[in-house]
Amino acid sequence: MTVVINMRDGVDEEKIRIAARFILRGELVAFPTETVYGLGADALNEKAVRKIFEAKKRPADNPLIIHIARLDDLERIAREVPPEARLLAERFWPGPLTLVLPKGEDVPDVTTGGLDTVAVRMPAHPIALSLIRASTPIAAPSANVSGKPSPTLAEHVVDDFYGRIACIIDGGETEIGVESTVLDLSSERPTLLRPGGLPLEEIEKVVGGVEVHPAVEGKPVDVARSPGMKYRHYSPSAQVVVVEGAREKVRRKIGELVEEYRSKGLRVGVMATETHDADEFFHLGKTEREVARNLFKALRELDKRGVDVIIAEGVEERGLGLAVMNRLKKAAGYRIVRA
């Protein structure tokens, strides 16, 4: 039996204490952050963390992010905290930025996928912060079965995990809609491992030039130093195709692809910023913030509507668009059509 706690109207400390008790007992609790819903366990409890991997069917070498609510906890989680990390934490925490740092002794190897580094962030969501303060630092990947689109609504978590975890906190729709940006500060030069809710351009204003890891563009890696680097991610059951190019050319190409797939007897869904004639359509919004917020919801919704193919409109790869395209390309298995 999974306890679903309604906190759509804001933080309720009594309900937070109920959820915190599950965490402290070594159980799993799904909770909202500003990015997506997380599937949380006591980050320093090896047995509890293993339950995350079992529930998600997540490969053991795919590291987790530890969520903290106090800067003091950073000293406990990380062996070293370089000056750049302090600058970025002061500027962007709480917020959608994860820092990869040398691992502290208190962190079990299972949490970091066996790495000597640890990924840590402070979420900018009152429910998440209250839950962590009432319990302990929480290891939390996205609250979805591995490989599927991340959840931005409690209903998405219910679909994947009801009856399999102790508790789900329903805090309504998440604000950003894509996961945190991951920046590696454990090596000589700051390196972007995963684009996310904090644009790269904002980070570079603080620390200068940032190297972009080849995995961001889909190059294969042997060792995943961050979530989202190595394994299949964000994929619905339907085949996904991404169309890139100038706006008008993209619009025409989507129309052509709809007819091509329909001629093969397939049901076609389209997710785009402008209306298209398809079997199913999901409007992503007009701004990059709207597109990011609606991205995973669109993939899940079109899947529920029973389409065979999802055609997705590509966006410009700057700002939040870099994170959106990173997710879309992975969802499509890098099936990209250039208009």
Query: Which segments are annotated as binding site for ATP?
Result: 58, 62, 117, 150, 194, 234
What's the number of CA atoms in the CB half-sphere (13 Å) around residue 289?
Answer: 5
On whether the CB atoms of residues 180 and 193 are closer than 8 A, the answer is: no
Cα–Cα distance, 96 to 89 (Å, whole number): 11
Cα–Cα distance, 330 to 124 (Å, whole number): 26
Residue 178, φ and ψ in degrees, nearest 5: -125, 155
On whether the CB atoms of residues 273 and 337 are closer than 8 A, the answer is: no
Annotation: binding site: 35, 58, 62, 67, 117, 121, 140, 142, 150, 180, 194, 234
Residue 254, φ and ψ in degrees, nearest 5: -60, -45
Token readout for 203 is 């980070």
Sorted by sequence, the CB contacts under 8 Å of residue 125 that are 6+ apart come out as 32, 33, 34, 94, 171, 174, 175
Token readout for 1 is 């039996």
Annotation: binding site for L-threonine: 35, 67, 121, 140, 142, 180
